[in-house]
């Protein structure tokens, strides 16, 4: 394996930052040009990320040191298979979400759209910065930038509820990263003299100690964006944000930064050997199993569609960590691949929620009776993405759950296998009734005039600018379920 020096990782990070002054300069006066800069930056970023794929598939890594502050402390980029998976997903979905946002924001006549696109661009730079971080210091810097850049997005509506949601979001993420996470990074640096990620773990040759055991949990809960219970409350509160924010940042960028960072710690700080020696794998597996089940149970109780999707996200995120900490080849592959599978499926579901809001102003599941006949594209895409979340072939989620189940059997962890089966049943219980209600449940037409439009959808018309992106992501979630080679090959490269 060869390490290649290249500026490409830094350029991938900077691309959307360079678009910020252009977005601000065009502003509200020239919205078409403002949004053109967002799309162009997304296409360039995605192209740069893809251009690095052949080298990574060949087993090489790409590195670039931006600045060194002190021995073992520097801002440094490193592209490997795990980082490429996350960067590919986030950069591609930024392009799709930009088109979706144009339709959503304009149809809703949303205010402060320039601020919205500006914060989006900064958020995507931070996300790719996390993906291509070469050490914990660099990862921490971009992790914090992402937290700060997304606060205005969460509070975008500027209502009391939005401001309260943004405040909780900010305090949760900032307090935990400044205490638990920073403490963990300092301990790793004091023990090893560096925080650099290494292929088989920075700590692979060290003696397992109680300090290292405790330090792992500083990372597990310090990376609060992963929304492991009990540090998950910020995520449902953040659903007050506009749907494009919920879709990209809370189905892809923010939450995936959390689980991706934990995977970095598992694979490239502790390593499989140290995780096994300290029994951290099985301990963590039971912790996240609790989150998987409880997230699904709470989702089942929610009538608000975005709230149900939020708790579903909390549950599904822990699949990624569960796979990694099973420490078996199949389990680790399943966890890594689920980053991609969940991203495309869950962003589709959030897109559908936004489509229902813009076209019909419906936010509650109880309001969706028979709406599938008026919004067939939206609800068909919702059904496809639901199948993926449940794990029904040939949708993408089936690949994840298949490998996770194999990983649990390889690890001889029957309780974990039971958790996977139980959560699958719960997934079906809170997703399938939505599709049934939309397409097959008969309407009860109230006799009172005041309720004439409660379940009536005569005037509803789908917005093409909103519908095309969600149909695209739904189709992709099927394609990567049928042809999972790209992400599976990269996953195998991570665990090789």
Provide the pLDDT for residue 451. Answer: 47
Instruction: Work out whether the CA dihedral 381, 83, 137, 120 comes out positive or negative.
Output: negative
Mapped onto helix, strand or coil, the DSSP state of residue 208 is: coil
Provide the pLDDT for residue 456. Answer: 52
Provide the pLDDT for residue 399. Answer: 95
Where helices occur in 361-484 by DSSP H, the ranges are 376-390, 396-410, 414-439, 464-482
Mapped onto helix, strand or coil, the DSSP state of residue 75 is: strand
Provide the pLDDT for residue 29. Answer: 82
**Spatial CB neighbours of 87, under 8 Å, sequence gap ≥ 6:** 12, 49, 79, 128, 131, 132
pTM higher than 0.85 for the full model?
A: yes
Given a cut of 70, the residues of the chain with pLDDT beneath it are 443-458
Could you give the CA distance from residue 263 to residue 93 in angstroms, rounded to a whole number? 21
- Please check whether residue 355 is in contact with residue 461, taking contact to mean a CB–CB distance below 8 angstroms: no
Could you give the CA distance from residue 64 to residue 61 in angstroms, rounded to a whole number? 10
Provide the pLDDT for residue 265. Answer: 97
Residue 123: how many CB atoms within 10 A of its CB?
27
Provide the pLDDT for residue 453. Answer: 47
- Please check whether residue 101 is in contact with residue 244, taking contact to mean a CB–CB distance below 8 angstroms: yes
């Amino acid at each position: 394996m060869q390490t290649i020096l290249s500026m490409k990782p830094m350029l991938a990070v900077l691309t959307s930052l360079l678009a910020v002054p252009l977005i601000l300069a065009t502003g509200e006066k020239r919205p078409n040009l403002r949004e053109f800069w967002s799309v162009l930056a997304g296409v360039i970023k995605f192209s740069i990320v893809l251009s690095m794929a052949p080298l990574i598939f060949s087993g090489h890594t790409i590195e670039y040191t931006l600045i060194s502050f002190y021995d073992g402390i520097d801002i440094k980029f490193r592209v490997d298979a795990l980082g490429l998976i996350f960067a590919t997903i986030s950069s591609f979905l930024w392009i799709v979400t930009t088109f979706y946002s144009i339709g959503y924001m304009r149809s809703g006549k949303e205010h402060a759209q320039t601020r919205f696109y500006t914060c989006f661009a900064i958020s995507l730079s931070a996300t790719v910065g996390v993906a291509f971080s070469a050490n914990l210091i660099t990862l921490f810097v971009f992790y914090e930038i992402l937290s700060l850049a997304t606060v205005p997005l969460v509070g975008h509506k500027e209502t009391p509820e939005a401001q309260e949601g943004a405040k909780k979001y900010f305090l949760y993420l900032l307090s935990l990263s400044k205490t638990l996470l920073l403490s963990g990074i300092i301990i790793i640096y004091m023990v090893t003299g560096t925080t650099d990620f290494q292929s088989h773990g920075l700590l692979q040759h060290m003696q397992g100690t109680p300090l290292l055991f405790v330090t792992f949990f500083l990372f597990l809960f310090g990376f609060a964006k992963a929304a492991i219970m009990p540090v998950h409350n910020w995520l449902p509160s953040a659903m007050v944000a506009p749907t494009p924010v919920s879709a990209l940042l809370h189905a892809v960028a923010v939450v995936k930064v959390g689980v991706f960072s934990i995977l970095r710690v598992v694979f490239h700080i502790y390593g499989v050997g140290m995780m096994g020696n300290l029994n951290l794998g099985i301990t963590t597996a039971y912790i996240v199993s609790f989150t998987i089940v409880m997230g699904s149970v709470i989702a089942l109780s929610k009538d608000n569609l975005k709230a149900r999707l939020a708790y579903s996200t909390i549950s599904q995120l822990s699949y990624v960590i569960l796979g990694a900490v099973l420490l078996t080849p199949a389990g680790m592959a399943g966890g890594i691949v689920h980053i991609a599978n969940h991203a495309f499926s869950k962003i589709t579901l959030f897109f559908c929620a936004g489509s229902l809001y813009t076209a019909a102003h419906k936010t509650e599941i109880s309001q969706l009776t028979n709406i599938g006949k008026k919004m067939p594209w939206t609800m068909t895409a919702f059904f496809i993405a639901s199948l993926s979340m449940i794990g029904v072939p040939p949708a993408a989620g089936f690949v994840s759950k298949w490998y996770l189940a194999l990983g649990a059997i390889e690890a001889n962890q029957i309780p974990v296998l039971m958790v996977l089966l139980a959560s699958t049943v719960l997934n079906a219980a809170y997703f399938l009734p939505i599709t049934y209600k939309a397409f097959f449940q008969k309407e009860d037409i109230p006799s009172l005039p005041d309720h004439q439009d409660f379940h009536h959808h005569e005037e509803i018309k789908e917005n093409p600018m909103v519908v095309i992106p969600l149909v695209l992501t739904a189709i992709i979630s099927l394609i990567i379920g049928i042809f999972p080679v790209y992400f599976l090959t990269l996953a195998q490269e991570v665990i090789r």
